[in-house]
Structure 1
Amino acid sequence: MSESALSARTVLVTGATSGIGYETARLLAERGCTVLLHARTAEEGRAAIDRLTAGGIDAGRFCPMAADFTRLSEVEQLARRVAQEHPRLDVLVNNAAVAAPERHTVTEDGNELALQVNFLAHYLLTSLLEGPLTSGPGGRVVNVSSSLHRTASIQWSDPHRSRRYSRLAAYAQSQLALTVFAADPRVTAVSVHPGVCDTALLPLYGLEGASAAEGAAHVVRLCDPATEIVNGAYYDRSERVEPAPLATEGRTIKRLARLADVLVGQPA
C-alpha cells in the first residue's frame, strides 16, 4: 500500500458504521486520508468515529456525514453538503448496502428497498458529485459490488419486482445494476467484490467468511492512486476479472442510466 500516494486525499465512504465500510474508513484514515464517514443518522456516525478514535486514530481525520438512503431527498442533501465543504473529492466509495427484506418492501420514493439503497442512492450521489470528483486529476469511484451480480437480471418492465419478488433476486439485481453503473463514462469508476466477509450480509452467501478488514483491504487498494484503473473494470478481491457480460454491454449501460434517471427523479 502506498501511504504517500493516499495521504491527504479526501474520500467519502458510504455505509461506514459497520462491516467493510467501517474497516475501509479505518484503513484510509490510518494512511492519512480525510474520511467523510457516511452513516444513516448523525448519532450512528458519531458512535462510529468514537470507536475509531478509541483505537488511536486522530479524530481530525474524520468528518461525519448523515443520510438515510431510503430517502432520496437526504441523498441530495448529503451531496450538496459534500460539494459545498469539499469541492474536490478524490474518491467516492459506494459501499452502503442492505440485504433485501423477506417481504417486498417499497420506500417512500416508490422504489424497491434494496434497489434504492444499494444502487439508486449511489447512482444519484455519484451523479450529483460529478463536479467534485472531476475537479482534479485522478478522481475515482469504487463500487463495492458482489459476485452475486452474475446470477442477476434486471427486470426492465418491473424493476421493483412487484409482480414476482425474491429477496435474493432483488439483492442480486441491485448488485448487477451497481456493477453496470461502473462503466458509465461520466466518472472513472470500478467495481470490486471484496470476498465473502463476516458482515451483516453473510447470510446471503453462506456460513463462513473472511474478516471485514480483509475485504476492506481490497477496497482501499483501489482507492490508491498508485493503483491504475480502467473505467468499468471489475475486481474479484485483488484480481481483475471479467464481470457478467451485461455489465459491459453498451446498450445495457445506457438503458440503465435512463431507467435510473427516471427512478431518482433526475432530468434525462
Structure 2
Amino acid sequence: MTGWTADRMPDQHGRVAVVTGANSGLGLVTATELARRGAHVVLAVRDTAAGASAAGRIGADVEVRELDLASLESVRAFAAELSAAHPAVDLLVNNAGVVLLGPRRTTADGFELHLGTNMLGHFALTGLLLGTLAAGHEPRVVNLSSITHKGAHLDFDDLMSERGYRASSAYGRSKLATTVFGLELDRRLRAAGSPIRSVLAHPGLTRTNLTPRAWEHRGRLGRVLATIGLLATQPVEQGTLPQLRAATDPGVRGGQFFGPAGLAETRGRVTEARLSREAADPAVGARLWTAAEKLTGVSYL
C-alpha cells in the first residue's frame, strides 16, 4: 500500500497538541505519533488512570488532563485549566467519541449521549479554546467524522432522538453533526480572518476498542457480530492516518476532509473523502451552529 504515511509527518517540536480520547484506539496512536515527532501532547481523557497508563506507553513529552465531554461543567473546567497552563495551543484533535447499540442514554446535561459527547462536547471545547488556539503557530482543529455521516439526516425538531430512538441512527446523526460543525467552523474562521484551520477526517472501518464494545449488550450474538466486525476492519495504525494528515500536513487547507481511498472509503491509503450533500450545505451548518450555541451556552465567531 502506498500513499501518505506517518513517516511523512513534519517535525512537531515546539508545538502543543491536545488530543481528546487519547488513552486508546485512534486517539492513542495519534498522540503517540505526534509525541514521537516532538510535540508536547495533552492527553485529554475521562479516565485519568487510563490516561496515565497511556502516557507511560508513549514515554515522551505528554501530560494527562481530565476531560469528560459528556459534561459541560467538565469541558469548561478543562478549557480554563488548559488555557492557564498553555496560553497558546497549536493543535486540537477532537477525536473522542462513543458508540452504543443499547437503549437511549443521556449526558450530564440531558443531551442524547452520542450527540452530546461526539459533537456538542467538542463544539463547546473548541469554542472555549478558540483564543488559545488563535495564539498558536499555524493552529488547526481536526474533527473526527465517520462514513456513517453519509446515511444520516439531522432532524432539527428532534435533535436529541427522543422519537423512535435507534442507537445506530443516533450515532450516524452525531457524526453528521460533527462533520457539519467542522465545515461551518471553517466558513466562520475564514470569514473572521482567523489563522486557525478547521479540517476533518474519518478512519473508514478501523479496529478499535469501540468495535467489540458496541456489541457487548447483545450477548453471544454480539460476540459473533464483533468478531465479524474485527475481520472486516483495518488496523488502527492505518485508520489513524487520515487524522494525522489532517493534523500535520503543511499543505492541508481549511475545510478539507480526509479518509481511506479503498472500497466505499472503508480502508486503504489516505485521500480526500466525499461529503454527503447535507453535510456540505451551508444552510444546515448555520442552523446547527445556532442550535449548538443555544444548547451549550458557548458562543464564538
TM over 0.5: yes
Q: Does 1:236 align with 2:259?
A: yes
Give the TM-score taking structure 1 as reference length. 0.91
Question: Is the Cα contact below 8 Å between 2:246 and 2:258 reproduced in 1?
Answer: no
2:73 matched residue in structure 1: 73
State the number of aligned residues.
Answer: 261
2:207 matched residue in structure 1: 198
Coordinate RMSD, CA, aligned: 1.8
For structure 2, list consecutive stretches of 5 or more residues without a partner in the other structure. Answer: 1-6, 190-195, 215-225, 261-269
Paired with 1:43 and 1:201, the residues of 2 have a C-alpha distance of 19
* Cα 1:136/1:17, change in 2 over 3 Å: closer
2:85 matched residue in structure 1: 85
- Structure 1 position 42, deviation (Å): 2.1
Question: Is the Cα contact below 8 Å between 1:182 and 1:233 reproduced in 2?
Answer: no
- Structure 1 position 225, deviation (Å): 4.8
2:175 matched residue in structure 1: 175
Amino acid at match of 2:240: A
1:101-140 equivalence runs, <5 A: 101-140=101-140
Per-residue CA shift, 1:26-75, capped at 9, x if unaligned?
Answer: 1111111110011103222112112222xxxx3xx101111122211001
> Helix, strand or coil for the counterpart of 1:37?
strand
> Helix, strand or coil for the counterpart of 1:87?
coil
Question: Is the Cα contact below 8 Å between 1:123 and 1:260 reproduced in 2?
Answer: yes
Paired with 1:267 and 1:96, the residues of 2 have a C-alpha distance of 22
Paired with 2:46 and 2:95, the residues of 1 have a C-alpha distance of 13
Amino acid at match of 2:287: R
> Helix, strand or coil for the counterpart of 2:34?
helix
Per-residue CA shift, 1:160-211, capped at 9, x if unaligned?
Answer: 1111101111000110011111122234211111221111333679342111
For structure 1, list consecutive stretches of 5 or more residues without a partner in the other structure. Answer: none
2:242 matched residue in structure 1: 218
Paired with 1:202 and 1:13, the residues of 2 have a C-alpha distance of 20
Question: Is the Cα contact below 8 Å between 1:182 and 1:231 reproduced in 2?
Answer: no
Q: Does 1:41 align with 2:73?
A: no
Amino acid at match of 2:254: N
Paired with 1:52 and 1:130, the residues of 2 have a C-alpha distance of 27
Paired with 1:221 and 1:7, the residues of 2 have a C-alpha distance of 17
Paired with 2:283 and 2:15, the residues of 1 have a C-alpha distance of 34
1:30 matched residue in structure 2: 36
1:245-260 equivalence runs, <5 A: 245-260=277-292
Question: Is the Cα contact below 8 Å between 2:146 and 2:203 reproduced in 1?
Answer: yes
Amino acid at match of 2:145: S
Amino acid at match of 1:157: D
For the pair shown, the structure with the greater C-alpha radius of gyration is: 2
